[in-house]
Amino acid sequence: MPSVNALLTKLTPKEGISRIFSYNQMFTNFGQVLGPFVGSTVAAGWGYRWVFYATGAIVLFNFIWSLVNFRNYLKVREI
């Protein structure tokens, strides 16, 4: 989390830092609640093997989404 906070501080304008930290904390807590809920639902419905497939699909989607949204920042060497 310290590296995420440092990156958010560099990428966010000064007037939006408190809001972006609030969003970061909110979505972190949502993930901590929804992750086990979705994992147990998938395990109960389709078995434990599918939990890893579902997690892999979510991680792949997040990776592609991040590449699309942050492609401009990938060219900057300062970050």
Q: How far apart are CA 6 and CA 21, in angstroms?
A: 11
Based on the structure, what is the number of domains in the chain? 1
Instruction: Look at residue 7 and tell me if it is in a domain.
Output: yes
Average pLDDT over residues 32-55: 94
58 has pLDDT over 90? yes
Q: Are 42 and 51 in contact (CB under 8 A)?
A: yes
Q: Residue 72 is which amino acid?
A: N
Instruction: Look at residue 79 and tell me if it is in a domain.
Output: no
Q: Residue 3 is which amino acid?
A: S
50 has pLDDT over 60? yes
pTM of the entire predicted model: 0.67
Which tokens is 69 given?
């949204």
Q: 64: domain range?
A: 2-74
79 has pLDDT over 60? no
Q: How far apart are CA 14 and CA 49, in angstroms?
A: 45
Instruction: Look at residue 48 and tell me if it is in a domain.
Output: yes
Average pLDDT over residues 37-50: 94
Average pLDDT over residues 42-63: 95
68 has pLDDT over 70? yes
